[in-house]
Structure 1
Amino acid sequence: MGYVVGNIYVITAVAVIGGALFGFDIASMSAILGTQQYKCFFNQTGRNSDGDCGGPTASTQGGISAAMPGGSFVGALISGFVTDYLGRKRAIQTGSIIWCIGSAIVCSSFSIGQLVAGRFINGLSVGILSAQVPVYVAELAQPSKRGQVVGAQQWAITWGILIMFYISYGSSFLTGPAAWRLPWGLQMVPAVFLFFMFFLLPESPRWLAKHDRWEEAHEVLALVHAKGDTSAPFVLTELQEIRDMVEFERRNVDASYLELFKGHMIYRTHIGMFTQIWSQLTGMNVMMLYITYVFGMAGLTGNANLVASSIQYVINVVMTVFALLFIDRWGRRTPLLVGSTLMMIFMFANGGIMKSYGKPAGPGGLNNVAEESWDLSAAPGAAKGVIACTYLFVASYAPTWGPVSWIYPPELFPLRLRGKAVALSTASNWIFNFALSYFVPPAFENIKWKTYLVFGVFCFAMTIHVYFCFPETAGKTLEEVETMFTTPGMRPWKTSVQFQHVRQLEQGAVPSEKLAHLQTETAGEKRGPAVSQVA
C-alpha cells in the first residue's frame, strides 16, 4: 500500500493547508486593497486633493472580491463528482494544482479583467478544498477526535489569514506593483507543499470500502487508529459498521444530488446548507475582508489601520484554539447557540454606536476607504467602542461558528452521499460569500450603520433555527449519526453529547460476543464476498 503517515494529527496538519489557502486570499485582499500601489495600478476613480489614487469603484471592488467566492461556489459543486470518482486524496491534490494556476494569473495581472479571472480560478480551488478536506479528515479520524481535527480546518484558515496579512503588510512598503504581486505569488508555495505531501498520506477508508478495496480500507483503519494492529477491537468494530452501511446502501439506494432533496434526506440537507449559509450571514468574512473599511470609518489611517486590523486576526487564531481543545466535549449545538447570541449583541452594539455618535462622511468617503461612508473620527471614544465590539465579535465567532461550520456538515450524511452533500453545503457557503462580498461595499455607502443591524437580525434568526432544528452529533461514530437520523421521533433539542461513549468504544469496550465474532472473521472465517476481501 505504501502509506507512510498514520498519525491523525500529522494527516490533519497537512490536509488543512487547503483551508489556509482560503485564509491567504482573505488576508491578502484585505491588506492589499487599502494600499496606494494597488489603488493606483487599478485606479478608476482618479485622485483626491492630496494626490492619492481612489482605486477601483466600490462596485468594481465588490466584483473583484466576489470573483473568488463565485469560483468557490462552482468548485464546491463539482467537487462532489471529483471526490467520488478520484477519491478524497486526488481531489485535494487537484485543488492544489488549480490554486497554483490561479495564483500565477493573479500575481501577473495587468488589468482588472485578468485579476478577476485569476481570482475566479483560485476560487475553483478553494471550493474543492473547503468541501473535501473536512470530508477526508472526518472519515479518517477517531470519533472522539473528529471535531478537533476537522475543526483544525478553521484554525488553518485563521493562520492563513494572519500569516498572509503580515506578508502583505510587509510587501506594502515595496514600490509599484511588486507590493501586491509578491504576496499573491508567494501563496503558491503552500499549495505545492500540499500536493507533494499528499502522496505520503492514506486514502479515506470509507471511500476505499465504497469502491470494494476492503483490504486497503482495513489497513488504513489499523494504521490510523491502532498503529497498524489489524486485530484491534475498535478497528474491527468500525470496519464492520462501515461494511454494514455500504451493503445496506447498495441494496437500497443510489447516490445522486437529487436524492439529497428526497424524503427524510432533505431535512439533513437543509441543516448542512444552513450551517454554511448562517456562518456567512454572521458577517464574519465581511468583517475580515473589509476590516480596513470599518476601521477607516473609526478614524484609523495608513499603517495604524493595518496594524489594528491585524490584531483581530491574532484574536481569531488564539480563540480558535479553545474549540480545538474542547469542541468534542462541548458538542456542536451549544457553541452554535452561544456564538450566535454573542455575535448578535456585538452587531447591534456596533450599529447603535455608529448611529449615536457618527455622521455621513460625505463625497469621497473617509480616509478614501469607502465612498459616502460613515465618520466616527469626531468621537474617539465611540470609535474605540466600534473597534472593541469588532474584536469581541471575532472572539465570539472563532471558537463557535468558525470551526463548527466545517465540522458539522460531514457528520450529517451517509457515506454514499457524503461527498456530494458536503459539496452542496459548502457551495451554499460560497454563493452567500459571493453575494456578501459584492453587497458590503455598496451597503456601507447606502445604508451605512444599518449594515450592522442586518447582520444582527441574521444572528438572532440563526439562534432560533439552531435550537429547534440542529441535533447533536458529537460523541457518535458516523454510522451512529446515521442511525440517529433514521430513528422516528428524534427531537434536536433533546439530543446530547456522548463523549464517554465513543472513548469507551475506541478503547475496545464492545460486547465480548461481537468482538469474538469479528476476530474469528479476521483470522480467516469467511462470511460472504465483502468479508473475504477484508479477512
Structure 2
Amino acid sequence: MSGLVTGIYDIGCALGAVVAFAFGERLGRRRSVILANAIVIVGAAIQAASYSYAQMFVTRIITGTGVGLSTVAIPILQSESLPAHNRGALLVVQSALIIIGVAVASWLCFATLYADSSMQWRFPVAYGLPKKGRADEARATIARLLDRDEDNEEVQGQLTEILEGIAAEEAVGESSWKEVFSNNNNTRNLHRVLLGMGPYMFNQWSGINSVCYYLAYILQEYLGYSQSMSLILASVAFTQYAVFSWPPYFYIDRIGRRWTTIWSSLGCAICMALIAGCLLVAKRANAAAAVGFMFLYMDCFTLGILPVSWSYSAEIQPLRIRNKATAVGVLSHWLSNFVVVIITPIGLDSIRGNFFWIWAVTCVLFIPLTYIFGVETAGRSLEQVDRMFMDNSRACMGLSKSNTIVIRTTAADEQVRYKQFATHHEKM
C-alpha cells in the first residue's frame, strides 16, 4: 500500500503531462505555469485535510497533475527565454531549487517524528501551500529580456531569426498531433521526441527515486538504523544532495550536456554496484559503507543526470511541436517514476541488496546511448539546434563530430551574431 500511495502521485504527474500535450499550446507558457501552481495549491490544501486513503489518493493525483503540467511548461519557458551562452547554467537553478525543496521536506518529516497524531504528515504537506502572429509583443519581450530598446539591432536580429525559423516550419503546413510522431519532414520530429525522452527516462531508470523515496525506509528496515537515526541520515543526505546540485551551474555550459551526462552515469553505476556489494553480507561496517555510497550516488546524480534531464528535451524540440514533444518526454518521466516507486519495495523484499545491481546496469547503459545518439546543445541557440537536425538525417547523430562540439559563446558573441543577422536581413 505504501508503494501505491507514493506512486499514485506520479500518475497525477503523468496526467498533467497529458493536459499539457492537449491544451498547453492554447494556454501558452505563462498561463500554464499559473494554472499548474493553482492546481498544486488546491491539491496540497485538500491533501493536508485528508482523513482516509481514498482522499489521499485523489488529492495526490490532483497535486501531481499540477506538478506534471508545470514540469512541461517551465523548462520550455526557460529554454526559450534564456541566452544560448549560459542557458544550461541558468537551467541548473531550476533543478537545484527542486532539490532544496526535497531537503526541506525531509527535515520537516523528521521534525514531526514525535508528533503523536496525524500532524506527522499534515504539517509537511500543508507547509508547501504557501507565435500567434504577435511580432510586436515578441519584440517587446525580447527587448525586456535583453535590457535593450526595441529598435536595437540585437533585438531585431534575435526576433528575425525566430520569425524565420517559424516561417520555415509553417511552410509545410499546420501542426498536428500526428506530426509529433512523424519523421516525414526536414525537422525530424519523431527523432527529436525520442531523443528528448532519453534524459527524462535516464533520470528515473538511474534508480534515483528508489533511493530518494525510500531512503529512510531502507536505512531502518534493511540497514538496521533506528527510526529517528534513519530520518536524520536521510535529511542529511538530502541536504548535501541540495548542496551538490549547484556545481553544474559553473561547468554545464563548458563541458556540455553529453559529457556531463556520461560522467554522471559512470559515477552512479559505480556507486550502485558498491551499494549492492556492501549489502551482500549483513555486517554493521557494510551497512555504514552502503550509506556512504548512497550519499555519493546522490551527489553523482545531481552533478549531471539531474540538470540535463530537465532541460535537454525543451532545447532540442522544434518550436511548432515543442510543447507537445516536451509533454511526451515528461509523460515518459512520470510513468517511469511510477513503475520505479511501485517495484522498489517489491524488489527490496524479494532480492534485498541485489536489487541495486539493476540500477548499476541501467546506469552503465546510459553511457553508450548518450555517446551514440546525443547531440550537444551547449552554446547553441534553439534556432541553431533546429538547423543541426535539418542538416543531418542520420539517427546516430552523436557519432558526427560537428554535432557534439561544445560551442563556447559569450554574451558579446551573441550580441554580434544578432546584429549581423539583422544587418543581413535588411540588405535582402
What TM-score, normalized to structure 1?
0.75
Task: Spell out, residue by residue over 1:141-189, the C-alpha distance to the aligned partner (whole angstroms, 9 max, x if none).
Answer: 1111211222222111101101122222212232211221111112111
Q: Aligned partners of 2:191 and 2:246: how far apart in 1?
A: 31
Matched residue SS, 1:252: coil
Q: Aligned partners of 1:258 and 1:274: how far apart in 2?
A: 20
Between the two proteins, the alignment pairs up a number of residues equal to 419
Deviation at 1:480, TM superposition (A): 0.3
Q: 1:396 aligns with which of 300, 322, 328?
A: 300
Task: Spell out, residue by residue over 1:236-295, the C-alpha distance to the aligned partner (whole angstroms, 9 max, x if none).
Answer: 221111110111222213323321221132211111112111110001122111001221
Q: Aligned partners of 1:258 and 1:385: how far apart in 2?
A: 51
Q: In the alignment, which residue of structure 2 is the partner of 1:472?
A: 376
Shift in CA distance, 390/428, structure 1 to aligned 2, threshold 3 Å: same
| Residue 257 of structure 2 corresponds to residue 316 of structure 1 | no
Deviation at 1:471, TM superposition (A): 0.9
For 2:9, the aligned partner's letter is M
Deviation at 1:504, TM superposition (A): 4.3
Q: Aligned partners of 1:71 and 1:268: how far apart in 2?
A: 25
Matched residue SS, 2:244: helix
Kept in 2: contact 1:351–1:452 (CA 8 A): yes
Q: In the alignment, which residue of structure 2 is the partner of 1:290?
A: 214
Kept in 1: contact 2:153–2:419 (CA 8 A): no
Deviation at 1:223, TM superposition (A): 0.4
Deviation at 1:459, TM superposition (A): 0.7
| Residue 347 of structure 2 corresponds to residue 347 of structure 1 | no
Range with bigger deviation, 177-186 or 83-92 = 177-186
Deviation at 1:212, TM superposition (A): 0.8
| Residue 65 of structure 2 corresponds to residue 145 of structure 1 | no
For 1:240, the aligned partner's letter is T
| Residue 66 of structure 2 corresponds to residue 125 of structure 1 | yes
| Residue 423 of structure 2 corresponds to residue 516 of structure 1 | yes
Deviation at 1:329, TM superposition (A): 1.3
Deviation at 1:502, TM superposition (A): 5.5
Q: In the alignment, which residue of structure 1 is the partner of 2:14?
A: 73
| Residue 144 of structure 2 corresponds to residue 223 of structure 1 | yes
| Residue 64 of structure 2 corresponds to residue 135 of structure 1 | no
Task: Spell out, residue by residue over 1:93-138, the C-alpha distance to the aligned partner (whole angstroms, 9 max, x if none).
Answer: 1111111221122111111111111111111011001111100111
Q: Aligned partners of 1:424 and 1:458: how far apart in 2?
A: 21
Q: In the alignment, which residue of structure 1 is the partner of 2:176?
A: 256
Q: Aligned partners of 1:489 and 1:105: how far apart in 2?
A: 50
Q: Aligned partners of 1:489 and 1:248: how far apart in 2?
A: 17
Task: Spell out, residue by residue over 1:467-489, the C-alpha distance to the aligned partner (whole angstroms, 9 max, x if none).
Answer: 11111111100000000011136
Q: 1:300 aligns with which of 221, 225, 230?
A: 225
| Residue 38 of structure 2 corresponds to residue 97 of structure 1 | yes
Kept in 2: contact 1:172–1:180 (CA 8 A): no
For 2:164, the aligned partner's letter is D
For 2:404, the aligned partner's letter is S
Task: Spell out, residue by residue over 1:308-360, the C-alpha distance to the aligned partner (whole angstroms, 9 max, x if none).
Answer: 111211221111111122211121000110011111111111111111x12xx
Kept in 2: contact 1:476–1:502 (CA 8 A): no
Kept in 2: contact 1:330–1:497 (CA 8 A): no
Q: After TM superposition, which residue ranges in structure 1, 4 or more long, deviate above 6 angstroms? A: none
Kept in 2: contact 1:233–1:508 (CA 8 A): no
Q: 1:178 aligns with which of 112, 119, 140?
A: 119
Q: 1:281 aligns with which of 199, 205, 209?
A: 205
- Mapping for residues 335-414 of structure 1, pairs under 5 Å: 335-355=260-280, 357-358=281-282, 379-414=283-318
| Residue 251 of structure 2 corresponds to residue 326 of structure 1 | yes
Q: Aligned partners of 1:431 and 1:488: how far apart in 2?
A: 31
Provide the alpha-carbon RMSD of the alignment. 1.7
Q: 1:161 aligns with which of 79, 96, 102?
A: 102
For 1:172, the aligned partner's letter is L
Kept in 2: contact 1:329–1:497 (CA 8 A): no
Q: Aligned partners of 2:251 and 2:409: how far apart in 1?
A: 16
Q: Aligned partners of 2:227 and 2:18: how far apart in 1?
A: 39
For 1:268, the aligned partner's letter is R
Q: Aligned partners of 1:275 and 1:150: how far apart in 2?
A: 15
Shift in CA distance, 510/69, structure 1 to aligned 2, threshold 3 Å: closer
Q: Aligned partners of 1:381 and 1:398: how far apart in 2?
A: 26
Shift in CA distance, 502/269, structure 1 to aligned 2, threshold 3 Å: farther
Deviation at 1:517, TM superposition (A): 5.2
Q: Aligned partners of 1:469 and 1:446: how far apart in 2?
A: 35
| Residue 163 of structure 2 corresponds to residue 243 of structure 1 | yes
For 1:492, the aligned partner's letter is G
Q: Aligned partners of 1:328 and 1:77: how far apart in 2?
A: 31
Q: 1:500 aligns with which of 404, 408, 421?
A: 408
Task: Return the index of the structure with the highest Cα Rg.
Answer: 1
Kept in 2: contact 1:95–1:128 (CA 8 A): yes
Kept in 1: contact 2:155–2:418 (CA 8 A): no
Range with bigger deviation, 228-237 or 275-284 = 228-237
For 1:383, the aligned partner's letter is A
Q: Aligned partners of 2:8 and 2:373: how far apart in 1?
A: 32
Kept in 2: contact 1:331–1:472 (CA 8 A): yes
Q: Aligned partners of 2:212 and 2:312: how far apart in 1?
A: 23
Deviation at 1:81, TM superposition (A): 2.9
Shift in CA distance, 152/447, structure 1 to aligned 2, threshold 3 Å: same
Q: Aligned partners of 1:335 and 1:233: how far apart in 2?
A: 35
* Higher relative contact order structure (alpha carbons within 8 Å, sequence separation ≥ 6): 2
What TM-score, normalized to structure 2?
0.94
Task: Spell out, residue by residue over 1:196-224, the C-alpha distance to the aligned partner (whole angstroms, 9 max, x if none).
Answer: xxxxxxxxxxxxxx101111110110101
